[in-house]
Amino acid sequence: MHNPVMAALDLPAAAALALAREIAPQVGGFKVGGELFTAEGPAVVREVKALRRPVFLDLKFHDIPNTVAAAVRSAVRLEVDLLTVHASGGSAMLRAAEEAARDEARRLARPPPVVLGVTVLTSLDDAALAEVAGEASVARQVERLARLAVAAGLRGLVCSPHELRALRGVLPAGFTLVTPGIRPGGGGGDDQKRTMTPAEARSLGAAWLVIGRPIYAAANPAAAAAAIAAEVDGTPGGPTLRM
């Protein structure tokens, strides 16, 4: 059965790799984000890939189309399974990212990674979004960017769990939805403002649940990861990543 728990390795390198080795049997994959990648570079992705779990490279590329395409090609060569681009980069940038992922994967004779469009960061609520985008509704902005991503050929999105139900109503079948802002048992959201429990998010169609602090800050991370996986075991969810 697909384990939807994607553990975020948001720690210094030595601690992140130790955590990954400890919890690998209890999770479905690992997220390598900006802190870890900036500190350690591509080598850390290769070390995490050696644990034989899907790797989600979450660098949120956002630049001119040619630059993003080149970055995506580099990510494909690292054999990552998912990667992120900001959907607000526009349709030309999104198309360039998806085409680069497919072309480079074809050249290497391997499956292309799922390029995920980031809609609205889960740290933003309506008021914060209005400051940066002139749009006072997170829900409207998420749907607008989701439709843009679909039209550009992307096969997945990152979104808050609170947008899952609405997005499943407008996205094509088989579209991969990845949700941060997951807090087991209604735990505190920290800087995440739009959160949900793992079971709730999975039942609404999330394919992957990105979970950081509830695992790595736990007294026993392996036990915490196992408990989260058990919470969602058997809960209907969205499409899974075929490895």
DSSP 187: -
Quote the CA–CA distance of 62 and 131 in Å, as a whole number: 19
What letter does residue 172 receive in the DSSP assignment? P
> Which amino acid is present at 32?
V
Within 8 A by CB and 6+ apart from 18, the residues are none
Q: Read off the tokens for 94.
A: 């999104």
Catalytic residue among 31, 49, 60, 193: 60
For the record, the structure tokens of 89 come out as 């980069």
Residues written for the chain: 243
Pairing status of strand 55-61 against strand 5-8: unpaired
- What token pair was written down for 21? 């080795």
Q: Is 60 a catalytic residue?
A: yes
Q: Are 6 and 210 in contact (CB under 8 A)?
A: yes
H or E segment and range at residue 8: strand 5-8
Report CA torsion sign: 51, 56, 62, 67.
positive
Catalytic residue positions, numbered: 60
